[in-house]
Amino acid sequence: MQAFRTAVERHDLDALETLLAEDVVFTSPVVFKPYRGKAITAAIVRGAARVFEDFRYRRVIGAADGRDHALLFTARVGDREISGCDFLHLDESGRIDELTVMVRPLSGAQALQAAMAAQFERIAQEAQEAAARSGA
C-alpha cells in the first residue's frame, strides 16, 4: 500500500492516521493481546516512529489493488539491527483494519520491547487524548 509506505517514510503520522479504520486491530510483536481502535494504534505507531532509527522499507508484496499487503523493512533500535514486516489488511472502504508487525531477531525484538515499554506512558496519554477529541 503506497499511501501507508509514503506516510511512514515521510514521518507524516497524521496522514498515516487517516488511513486507519476506526476499528483497526494492531498486533504487536512484543505483547500477547492485540490493541483495538484507531486512537491506540495511531499512538503506538507514533511511539514506534520515535524508537526506530534508520527505518527503511525494502520491499512491498501484494497487488496494488489488493486488500492484503506485506511491507518488509529494516531498522535499528539502539545498537540492535531489526528486520521486520508490516502486514496490512484493508477493509471494503480501503482503510487499514488490521496491522500486524513481526520483527526478528530475538535480540532486536527484545530491544524493541524495552524501548516501546519506555514509551508506553506517553503512548497511553496520546491515545486517551485522541479518543477524547474524536468523542470515542
Question: For residue range 98-131, what is the model confidence (pLDDT) as tens digits?
Answer: 999 999 999 999 999 999 999 999 999 999 998 8
The 3-state DSSP class for residue 37 equals coil
Q: Measured between alpha carbons, how far is 106 from 120 in angstroms, rounded to an integer?
A: 20
Residue in the block written with cell 507514533: 46
Residue 6 sits in a domain of what CATH number? 3.10.450.50
Grid cell locating 10: 515521510
Q: For residue range 52-80, list pLDDT tens digits in order.
A: 999 999 999 999 899 999 999 999 999 99
Containing structural domain, residue 126: 2-134
Total domain count, the chain: 1
Cα 59 to the chain's mean position, in Å?
Answer: 16
Pairing of strands 35-36, 53-61: unpaired
CB 99 within 8 A of CB 70: no
pLDDT at position 50, please?
A: 94
